[in-house]
Amino acid sequence: MVSSRPAAGARPQSVSLRRRGPVLERAILEAALEQLSRVGWNGLTMEGVAAGARTGKAAVYRRWPSKEDLVADALQAGLPAVGEAPDRGSVREDLYELCRRMRDAMFSLPGAALRAVVHECDAPTAERFHGLIFSGLIEPSNRLFGEVVRQGIRRGEVRSDAIGELVFDVIPALMMYRSKMCASELPDEEIVEMIDRVMVPLLRSRPV
């Protein structure tokens, strides 16, 4: 009779290799982003992250002593690169491409996690993430909008004094408002309307 027991030293197929180091850390960070996007900041727990990463709670706490520390690293690792400013031949087309890129980032897993942090954290906790949000989101988006506007100035289609943070903040502020307050998923036609009815007139005509 042939024995069904595994040979000495063999590992049962149902037992997977234990994850360590960067592989485990990446799984925990991804689980934190998934939890944030699904249950929000207030619903996020270290236990839930551990369960999502299929590891023990102690493995999470050994690396990150608090929820704030874990989320900061998860956002830092997950924020998408903004890339270079589009150059499609007109400021209208450049803004359209840039806004679609921002929309896709907002509704990505890291984007949903970041919005949960921005909208749900109290003031003292939000201060913990201010630098990360500024360097990872606000500063890059302002840089890209600035480059698009400067390209338009060089082409002669944008007024020469249309440079400034308030101008660059208009589209991101509209997109955040439409997403949060109006529950809009920012379809392409809504982006086109924002560009044609708000940004293009603002850039091409001098305010009275």
What digits encode the pLDDT tens for the residues 65-92? 999 999 999 998 888 777 899 999 999 9
* Beta-carbon count within 10 A of 88 CB: 14
Question: In the prediction, which pLDDT does 134 show?
Answer: 82
* Positive or negative torsion for Cα 102, 103, 106, 108: negative
| In contact, 79 and 136? CB cutoff 8 Å | yes
**Tell me, what's the pLDDT at 4?**
44
Provide DSSP, 33-68.
Answer: HHHHHHHHHHH--HHHHHHHHTS-HHHHHHH-SSHH
- Under DSSP, the state recorded for 82 is -
CA dist 146 and 154 (Å) reads 12
Residue type, 178: R
Report the SS3 class of residue 93.
helix
Residue 50: count of CB within 10 angstroms of its CB: 19
d(CA 183, CA 109) in angstroms, rounded, equals 17
Instruction: Please provide the average confidence, as pLDDT, over all residues in the chain.
Output: 85
DSSP state of 158: S
8 A C-beta contact, residue 163 and residue 149: yes
Q: For the segment 164-197, what is each residue's pLDDT rounded down to a tens digit?
A: 888 888 998 899 899 888 989 999 999 999 999 9
Q: CA-CA distance, 184 to 186, in Å (whole number)?
A: 5
Distance CA 193, CA 162 (A): 20
Cα–Cα distance measured from residue 143 to residue 112, given in angstroms and rounded to the nearest whole number: 22
User: Percentage of the chain surpassing pLDDT 70?
Assistant: 89
Domains of the chain are: 21-66 (1.10.10.60), 79-204 (1.10.357.10)
**pTM for this entry:** 0.76
**Max CA separation in the chain (angstroms):** 96
